[in-house]
Amino acid sequence: MFFFDPLYFVFVMPALLLALWAQWKVQSTFSKYSQVPTRTGINGLQTAQLLINRYRLNVNVASTPGHLTDHYDPRTKTVAISESSIYNSVASVAVVAHELGHALQDQENYAPLKLRGAIVPAVQVGGWVGPIMFIVGMLLASETLMWVGVIGFALAALFAIITLPVEFDASRRALAILQNNNLLTTQEELRGAKQVLDAAALTYVAAAAQALMTLLYYVTLLTGRQRE
């Protein structure tokens, strides 16, 4: 059974190690700068409220349980702030500003954000149906089903790739609005915020690498069977 194929680990292990390192990096960086209060005394929740008013964003703010579970939902125009991001710290302010960066993207109809949202339904189906179809195709020796599986999983890989410019741009916007609105007033604070955002971005790079390497593994198996 290909579930235990050593070739799978050859393809996926580097990306998996990158993902583990990225998770450690984001957790340790956030933990470090969550202990550094902002000189302005502003916290994450106040940051959201101030920026929404400053940029006249038609969005709501909601709380969400968990640690670093902050996100922006363009369907409901809601910025969800996690329990870890409501305090007065450089890390909290940076994370919340990043989510407001997504709200600004939505307000400006930022093309990659719109494209990512448009393919979400297909990704939700293809992401879990694709691997199943690929396995069934292997068991039934059906290259057609295997290709259907590859195409389904390719949608998930495409989603991960499109996510990169969306997240990088949101972080760029976050640093700019924190500086332009004097929410972080020193170079030390801005460097700390950048380190938090860079660490978070690394998790998306790792996710894209995992998706691409898994897709490449599937294609390698399929093309290998065709040559036999």
Per domain, the residue ranges of the chain are: 2-227
HEC-encoded secondary structure of 142-211: CHHHHHHHHHHHHHHHHHHHHHHHHHHHHHHHHHHHHHHCCCCCCHHHHHHHHHHHHHHHHHHHHHHHHH
pLDDT at 3 over 70: no
Q: What pLDDT shows up at residue 227?
A: 55
Please write the tens of the pLDDT for every residue from 132-179. Answer: 888 888 888 888 888 888 888 898 899 999 999 999 999 999 999 999
pLDDT digits (tens, 9 = 90+) for 84-93: 898 899 999 9
Is the pLDDT at 1 greater than 70? The verdict is no
Contacts (Cβ under 8 Å, ≥6 apart) of 227: none
The residue-averaged pLDDT of 34-53 equals 94
Percent of the chain with pLDDT over 90: 66
Q: Using 50, 70 and 90 to split pLDDT, how confident is the model at 7?
A: confident
d(CA 173, CA 225): 47
**Does residue 210 contact residue 59 with C-beta atoms inside 8 Å?**
no
Tell me whether residue 99 is one of the annotated catalytic residues.
yes
Our CA dihedral for 81, 87, 93, 98, rounded to 10 degrees, sits at: -20
Distance CA 115, CA 44 (A): 29
Query: In this predicted structure, what is the pLDDT of residue 41?
Result: 93
Write down the pTM of the prediction: 0.88
| 97 within 8 A of 43, measured Cβ to Cβ | no
3-state secondary structure of 40: coil
Q: Which of 99, 108, 143, 167 is catalytic?
A: 99
Report the range of poorest mean pLDDT among 4-8, 101-105, 121-125: 4-8
Residues contacting 127, CB < 8 A, separation 6+: 152, 153, 155, 156, 159
Quick one: pLDDT band at residue 224, thresholds 50, 70, 90? confident
